[in-house]
Amino acid sequence: MTTSTPVTRAAITRHAVRVALQWRLLLLWTAAMLLPAALMAWPFWATLAGQLDKSLYAAQWAQQLDAIVLADLGSKLADNAPALLAGGLSALLLTLLVSPLLNGAIVAAARAPAPLKWVPLLQKGLHHYGRMLRLWVWAVLLLAAAGAIASGAFHLAGNYADKAILESDAKLASRAAMLVSGLVLLLVHLSLEAGRAQLAVYPGRTSALKAWWRGCKTIKSRFLPMLGFYVGLSLLGALVALAITALRIALPQLGAFWLVLGVLLAQTAIAAIGWMRIARLTALVDIAQARRESGL
């Protein structure tokens, strides 16, 4: 980095927030998330429009749907399941393709001494694309392993519940399985974020597996700061996004103005998640860079 690396928690927080508020990064995130969402929503939109747009009761149904209408719509959606599945798979594939670009742009912005313009931001994002993609492939394997551990935990909890005499013991086993699953998934995702931070700190290295392993070593030596930033920023971003989503749901569904406002609020909620993601990864990059500069 051409500027001093933040080392204190306050300095890291300020830097992470400052990077996460760069409008180009937030706009890139929002646009990248909007495209897969549109791909997924389009088959639903087309199916529902075919049923509702030309109905004589469209205005009434816009205010409230009764059980019969909901059952008919559910049946129509089931009939159109192949198109809905295709839309979902297309959205997932597009998300997988743009995710390495977003991660590359984030780590580039985190290490830049000043906000990047559009061309340098996209160029650096593409420069990191291959390495971030390889780490994403490794992430799939790790998340699959975490899912298997979670499944095993719930299986053991189920066996214990079948033999338990008290209902409270069965509930305790289920909660323990949920806790174990949550902790495993959290640690796996934290290690992946730490691996991405290592790819930012060591731009000349290409091995995703080695980057992930170095990230695990950083977690071991800086466990509390890394966990604190990860959990704290994640909770903050999630709470803001939930508050915006709740406001969006509470809007009256009347007229074009409220429709446009609802769409804007939905995109703001997505941007809040993007802010959380950018700030979180930036903080981990700063910790990894400080550790490298200390010679560890």
94-139, pLDDT tens digit by residue? Answer: 988 999 999 999 999 999 999 999 999 999 999 999 999 999 999 9
Q: What is the pLDDT of residues 279-295, one digit of tens each?
A: 999 999 999 999 888 76
With both helix axes pointing from N to C terminus, report the angle between 223-250 and 9-20 in degrees, rounded to the nearest 10. 40
Residue 165: is its pLDDT beyond 60? Answer: yes
DSSP string, 193-246: HHHHHHHHH-TT---HHHHHHHHHHHHHHTHHHHHHHHHHHHHHHHHHHHHHHH
Q: Strand ranges (DSSP E) for 127-220? A: none
- Looking at the chain, the whole-number percentage of residues with pLDDT higher than 70 is 91
Side chain identity at residue 209, one-letter code: L
Mean pLDDT of 33-46: 85
- Does residue 216 have a pLDDT over 60? yes
Of 105, 110, 94, 112, residue with least CA distance to 128: 105
Q: How far apart are CA 46 and CA 51, in angstroms?
A: 9
Alpha-carbon distance 81 to 84, whole Å? 5
Picking from 94, 82, 77, 76, the residue whose alpha carbon sits closest to that of residue 32 is 94
Residue whose C-alpha is closest to residue 266's, from 18, 54, 37: 37
Whether 255 shows a pLDDT value over 80: the answer reads: no
For the segment 223-234, the average pLDDT, to the nearest whole number, is: 95
Who has greater pLDDT, 102 or 74?
A: 102
Cα(25)–Cα(47) distance, rounded to whole angstroms?
Answer: 34
DSSP states of 116-143 as a string? --HHHHHHHHHHTHHHHHHHHHHHHHHH
For 43-73, what is each residue's pLDDT tens digit? 888 877 777 766 666 666 556 666 666 677 7
Angle at 264 between CA 108 and CA 17, to 5 degrees: 35
How confident is the model at residue 2, as a pLDDT?
44
